[in-house]
A and B are shown apart, each in its own frame.
Chain A
């Protein structure tokens, strides 16, 4: 809970920085603040507590995911120094930073909610901040379009979530997730149809938020149109926050009622895996490619939610960490390349292997980790999720997931091929020091996690 309060304070500080005109020192101060909050967050480890009359609860689950979210935001802040370096952006830097902090607040609420009100507020805080950030390039129609599409889809999904919450409140008479869980356990055999409809509506809304098929169509457009740094944020922090909230919701409130939704979830998981990987094959735009790759990763993570009977939270966490570090490294490189070549298509990476072997090697490692090739973290994340799903009797789904991850290797290879075997273009690509640092740190983390996955497998 303290993590949440301090992060909100940092957000307010960002707003004040605008008034008192110390924008120059804002990002270093926020980075320092987030680093302190990160270490404070570790103190809640093994100290489960509830706060505010059971509105929020700290648990190892929320601490682990909050740590990951803080790390992601730290990386995004470091990347933002060079990303927002134009004069127009510098004027608005404190607004951007404040909104990013509030995004983080929303994510933190989604990890530690113990009441439907907090779930709703968390999702909305996260989403509303991101609608603004996605549309923050005011004079580009693409960015406007991305922001507005995200807004329409997001608020549409929130309405479903709310209708579900209202129906469940009508049946159980409480918003507390433990209360709903207790009701679900007591009436597991004869659940009220309104409870089941409410559960299905909430599941649909969460599928929207994690961009699982058939509700995935907004995400490639939004990812493409939004500023690249915000795309990086959406494909890591937002996806992970939505999955953690989804996992907590299902595991606490609906685990015995899931039989009714299992068919829908299985279908959606299979469709997500296939659509994500197959459509990614034909993409030329790197951001769209990563968007579809994000959709396919949502499919793998949904396997963890499907196979809830075994506790799959550590597998989900390991997968999230592996996915986040690899994506952040890939986006950091992409931002550098986009800026130098002024194009977002994969052809911008042509001949990177000759021009800047360091960047090319790093991008190769990130792509291999996303594709799930050992010894990177991506491989072990997939491995643990698949083995949990296999143990819980989803053999066909695991088979499908393995097939689709083999398809996935092809489009990740497309980028690698472009870097090493296409003729080089004339642009000079040179990452700044902070970008190099971020890329190296992320990839080292990915490698360490891949070599010693045991640290995380029994963590939660």
Chain B
């Protein structure tokens, strides 16, 4: 994003040998891949958290989450463009943009379908995600957009193991978000209502909770978290595109299912697991197999534990 000076920054003679050979080198290599996996897993975790908040309070699965993430990324893109890479502003704007989209998702895809069978709202979310994707292709243009140098490229090295500042920023942001969310869930009245609604809608209704309102706010909150995940993804991958949402939504879905769909903590764990498994799988083979590792692992876990890591009483999905 910044107009960088084209000083010959790669003029310095390249240092090729990052890794020692032999056992120690292989260990370092493995650790580096693990860090890649954790970083990717952290983003998946944030997407999955948002996803499971949505699924928890609404009680229906969604395929719009990829588009919610994409909108967050685009909001951040335009905010960075205007404000000159203010991360905090970007976070707020992408959260807000996805929150707003979440409101529409709720109105279009869930509100009328609480008493309809599952596949109805599911197809509506598929339709809505197509709508958003194609509209954004028309509005934002179909081509890739750059998102450069939002975070300085600094590195921390311990031997040959290196972690970039960007990766640290991402992991910290995800941890902060997860902590904030768990605070909301456990310490505020709103959070307790959210929990109640996600466990049993009828009972919540009977004790006087405005179920629809809480479901709507919870859905918006989950979408907002998705928007932040979108920002982090955009900063990490440095390019954004209107069609980027689809595969990401799938990953959020898969991570969330792995964690048991409605449990926020386990969903985060699910995302982390999928991120790590994918990257370790790529270490052995190559990235063409990425989704095979993700889905293969998920299927294996589901065969052993048919409801993911945790099966929570009450939450019916």
Q: Do A and B interact with each other, yes or no?
A: no
Residues of B within 8 A of A (CB): none
Residues of A within 8 A of B (CB): none
